[in-house]
């Protein structure tokens, strides 16, 4: 009798597509492939609904939810998000960017969601469209036996090992990065070495009126905070800092988190009468990427491929976008296997381009020059509107958006050069006389 881990091209596989992970990337891919008639299995290590961080959606998430047919379900119990508030102690002010003012004004708002509910809706939608699902099963390995069907091995909650075969594998395992780790493809992102800690609070002081549901990004000396209000009265608070900040913290993570909050007057003020509910969680190795997003008979989607600093709330949007593109690529590979190499190269390039649309901004968001531009917006040539379109999730923006973003980049480099000249000018007098303290913003 032929074993599943041996090469066997004669025996039909258990599934056309096996998806590892039932988060937004995996559930989106599963729904689209099952809807088109493919036999799909989704395996998730958890049972849904389950807790997850990353509660802020982008406006361009909404047409994706429409396409999946779940927008009405997501909107129930969600907080409407009209924009982004940036708070800088270096400038002594706040600036709010409303999505309604973006160059592309079709998407003027989005939602803040409980990820436990949001992810569960997406996963149930995949099942309703015909996908099979096994929860409480951690996939431990995927084997690619030459010309045979890939073999997927997992362990269920009872500790029993199970295995399946499939024509194609979609790795949506999130930060577990199953295939990137197994194949030695995962790399730290040298441009953005950071870590995060986060918790949920009740009775936090929020913005008023229409702005109540806005996300706030608050810069402080050691990084930045997110402040995300949820519809049930809970507020998600997180601090993203250089990984070095977490070393030698000298206390448990909860006390360290509260001490860090106290070091940021804006967040401390908003949480003065608030109560922490649930545990404080920390995560390291925060920014990474795989050297490739696809290979023979597999693709990676969402965080299984790459994770970048969440300052612009891109996580769920990128996961779902890759899910749409991934489903299209997998379907094409299954129908035209002789063209798989070309199809996967195109998918790989698309995955990198999607990240690249945001990373230029993210890699520079802590720099004084970038803070100055965000805190002192100018709409010359409608550049501010173009940046707003990008922050809303418009990665494909036509030429009218792209050339304005090029202008923004040029302004950034000019601003950065001016900062460097300022620093050099202030360093030289040290040789002859004491130097008066530079401003906090100039020194970063």
Report the phi/psi class of residue 313: left, alpha or beta, with left for phi > 0 and alpha for psi in -120 to 50.
Answer: left
pLDDT tens readout for residues 370-392: 999 999 998 999 999 999 999 99
Q: How confident is the model at residue 424 (pLDDT cuts 50, 70, 90)?
A: low
Domains of the chain (ranges; CATH) run 15-78+113-189+288-361 (3.50.50.60), 194-283 (3.30.9.100), 368-430 (no CATH)
Q: How confident is the model at residue 250 (pLDDT cuts 50, 70, 90)?
A: confident
* Confidence check: pLDDT of 296 > 50: yes
As a whole number, mean pLDDT of residues 190-201 equals 89
- The length of the chain, given as a count of residues: 444
**Which letter does DSSP use for residue 110 in this model?**
E
Q: Give the count of alpha carbons within 13 A of 62, CB side only.
A: 18
The pLDDT value recorded for residue 294 is 97
Sheet containing 234-242: order of strands: 93-98, 83-88, 215-220, 223-229, 234-242, 194-202, 275-283
Within 8 A by CB and 6+ apart from 342, the residues are none
* Confidence check: pLDDT of 439 > 80: no
Q: How confident is the model at residue 244 (pLDDT cuts 50, 70, 90)?
A: confident
Kindly report the average pLDDT of the chain as a whole number: 91
Distance separating alpha carbons of residues 114 and 120, to the nearest angstrom: 10
The pLDDT value recorded for residue 417 is 87
As a whole number, mean pLDDT of residues 355-363 equals 90
Q: In the structure encoding, which two tokens stand for residue 229, read together?
A: 């209000």
As a whole number, mean pLDDT of residues 95-100 equals 96
Distance separating alpha carbons of residues 389 and 401, to the nearest angstrom: 8
Tokens 């596989």, residue?
Answer: 13
Distance separating alpha carbons of residues 99 and 321, to the nearest angstrom: 19
* Confidence check: pLDDT of 421 > 70: no
In the three-class reduction of DSSP (H, G, I as helix; E, B as strand; rest coil), residue 148 is classed as coil
* Confidence check: pLDDT of 9 > 70: no
* Confidence check: pLDDT of 436 > 80: no
Looking at per-residue pLDDT, the higher value among 285 and 368 belongs to 368
Q: In the structure encoding, which two tokens stand for residue 347, read together?
A: 């998918």
pLDDT tens readout for residues 20-75: 999 999 999 999 999 999 999 999 999 999 999 999 999 999 999 999 999 999 99
Distance separating alpha carbons of residues 167 and 270, to the nearest angstrom: 52
Distance separating alpha carbons of residues 203 and 273, to the nearest angstrom: 6
Distance separating alpha carbons of residues 284 and 188, to the nearest angstrom: 11
- Indicate the pTM of the whole model: 0.91
DSSP H/E element including 359: helix 340-362
The pLDDT value recorded for residue 25 is 98
Q: How confident is the model at residue 427 (pLDDT cuts 50, 70, 90)?
A: low
């Amino acid at each position: 009798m032929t074993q599943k881990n041996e090469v066997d091209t004669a025996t039909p596989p258990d599934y056309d597509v096996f998806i590892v992970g039932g988060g937004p990337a995996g559930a989106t891919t599963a729904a689209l492939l099952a809807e088109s008639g493919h036999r799909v299995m989704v395996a998730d290590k958890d049972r849904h609904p389950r807790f997850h961080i990353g509660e802020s959606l982008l406006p361009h998430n909404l047409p994706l939810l429409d396409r999946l047919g779940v927008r009405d379900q997501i909107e129930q119990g969600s907080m409407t998000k009209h924009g982004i508030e940036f708070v800088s102690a270096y400038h002594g002010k706040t600036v709010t960017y409303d999505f309604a003012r973006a160059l592309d004004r079709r998407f003027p708002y989005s939602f803040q969601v409980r990820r436990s509910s949001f992810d569960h809706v997406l996963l149930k939608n995949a099942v309703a469209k015909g996908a099979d699902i096994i929860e409480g099963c951690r996939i431990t390995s995927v084997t690619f036996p030459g010309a045979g069907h890939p073999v997927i091995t997992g362990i269920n909650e009872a500790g029993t090992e199970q295995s399946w075969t499939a024509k194609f594998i979609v790795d949506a395992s999130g930060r577990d990065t199953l295939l990137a780790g197994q194949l030695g493809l995962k790399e730290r992102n040298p441009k953005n070495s950071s870590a995060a800690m986060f918790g949920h609070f009740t009775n936090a002081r929020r913005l008023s009126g229409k702005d109540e549901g806005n996300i706030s990004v608050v810069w402080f000396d050691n990084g930045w905070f997110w402040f995300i209000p949820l519809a049930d009265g809970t507020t998600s608070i997180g601090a993203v800092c250089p990984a070095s900040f977490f070393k030698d913290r000298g206390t448990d993570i909860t006390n360290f988190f509260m001490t860090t909050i106290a070091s940021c007057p804006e967040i401390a003020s908003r949480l003065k009468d608030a109560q922490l509910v649930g545990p404080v969680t920390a995560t390291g190795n925060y920014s990474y990427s795989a050297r490739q997003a696809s290979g023979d008979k597999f693709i990676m989607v969402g965080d299984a491929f790459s994770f970048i600093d969440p300052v612009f709330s891109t996580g769920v949007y990128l996961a779902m976008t890759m899910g749409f593109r991934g489903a299209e690529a997998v379907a094409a590979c299954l129908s035209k296997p002789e063209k798989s190499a070309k199809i996967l190269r195109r998918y790989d390039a698309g995955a990198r381009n999607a990240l690249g649309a945001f990373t230029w901004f993210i890699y520079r968001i802590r720099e004084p020059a970038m803070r100055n531009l965000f805190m002192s917006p100018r709409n010359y040539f409608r550049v501010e509107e173009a940046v707003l379109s990008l922050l809303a999730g418009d990665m494909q923006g036509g030429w009218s958006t792209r050339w304005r973003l090029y202008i923004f980049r040029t302004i950034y480099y000019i601003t950065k050069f001016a900062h460097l000249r300022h620093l050099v000018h202030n360093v030289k007098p040290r040789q002859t006389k004491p130097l008066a303290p530079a401003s906090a913003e100039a020194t970063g």
